[in-house]
Amino acid sequence: MPELPDIVVYIEALKRRILQHRLERVRLSGPYLLRTAAPPIQELEGKTVQGLRRIGKRIAMGFDQDYWLVLHLMIAGRLHWRDGAPSAAGPPAKKPAARSRDVAVFVFDNGSLTLTEAGSRKRASIHVVAGARKLASLDPGGLEVLEAGPEEFAARLTSENHTLKRALTDPHLMSGIGNAYSDEILHAAQLSPAALTRRLTADEIMQLFAAARKTLRDWTERLREETGGGFPEKVTAFRPAMAVHGRNGQPCPRCGAKVQRIRYADNETNYCPRCQTGGKLLADRSLSRLLKQDWPRTLEELEALRSSEGQYKPPRVVPL
């Protein structure tokens, strides 16, 4: 899912292309994408883009008369831009990834913006609202870490007792942080994703605050440099330069230990057991209840099992 750095770079690229340009027409592939009925999306046709902003992981486009179109790309949604007059506007200049499909095309007076979505789960969404109050209702209310002070961050983080992974990715607590950058932030802070927010020391909270700000800023700047003046076409949650996210089994860039991963639902957590958990492995919640003592508890136990068995595989669990 595109997160804060990706959304910021998307918005910067869109500002260079559609700000003060007129939306000529909108084409949707089906009714599932549009999550609001009034005002109708056709009300935006003929109106000019007056502003763009980020709302959490959403992209908000402001039009004349305080109309707003809000895009949530979710996991598989991506944007593509093609320069050209409306008569020439068509599919994106670069072919999207295999099995992606065009779900919406926004034709402007100077080019077209295409929303594609991979897979069949249809999670991307569009909201059309009128007025500041309706727009504010789409904001989950998470803290903007790059705008907050340390005291405000500490208060929000400890307002509920969750694991750090959940706290960072909860849009009601923290804004714009998802699966990928939470892994990177926690690795930079050298904190366990399973640590509870209310058990952190004051120093650990400040360590996390500094790591979150640095990670988000560094990656935003990195993506800006990669994009240059072009349009971001390679938006992905898995980047080779990341320290742990998407690097299961590869060496930690800090200590060399193998990065570990736990999966649950559509999410995954990647971490370095040596840097972040004192050498302990975090077991998948559903499996750890069933496997109990059969699950390796430390990095050393896992390596020993792999050495003796070639490749450690947890025992098969037979459904009851």
Give the tokens for residue 176: 């714009």
| Rounded distance between C-alpha atoms, residue 181 and residue 202, angstroms | 22
Q: What number of CA atoms fall less than 13 Å from residue 246's CA on the CB side?
A: 10
Summarised one tens digit per residue, pLDDT across range 163-175 is 999 999 999 999 9
Instruction: Output the pLDDT for position 304.
Output: 62
Within the chain, which residue ranges are assigned CATH 1.10.8.50? 150-282
Instruction: Give the pTM.
Output: 0.86
Q: Which stretches of the chain drop beneath a pLDDT of 50?
A: 88-98, 286-287, 290-293, 309-320
Within the chain, which residue ranges are assigned CATH 3.20.190.10? 4-136
| Rounded distance between C-alpha atoms, residue 211 and residue 115, angstroms | 32
Does residue 175 contact residue 144 with C-beta atoms inside 8 Å?
yes
Does residue 99 contact residue 118 with C-beta atoms inside 8 Å?
yes
> How confident is the prediction for the chain on average, in pLDDT?
88
| Rounded distance between C-alpha atoms, residue 122 and residue 116, angstroms | 10
Does residue 215 contact residue 184 with C-beta atoms inside 8 Å?
yes
Looking at the domain that runs over 150-282, which CATH code has it been given? 1.10.8.50
Place of tokens 């913006």: 113
Does residue 186 contact residue 193 with C-beta atoms inside 8 Å?
yes
Does residue 194 contact residue 157 with C-beta atoms inside 8 Å?
no
Percentages (nearest 5) of helix, strand, coil residues in the chain: 35, 25, 40
Could you tell me the CATH superfamily of domain 4-136? Answer: MutM-like, N-terminal (3.20.190.10)
Does residue 291 contact residue 283 with C-beta atoms inside 8 Å?
yes
Instruction: Output the pLDDT for position 96.
Output: 46
Summarised one tens digit per residue, pLDDT across range 192-224 is 999 999 999 999 999 999 999 999 999 999 999
Summarised one tens digit per residue, pLDDT across range 306-318 is 555 444 444 343 3
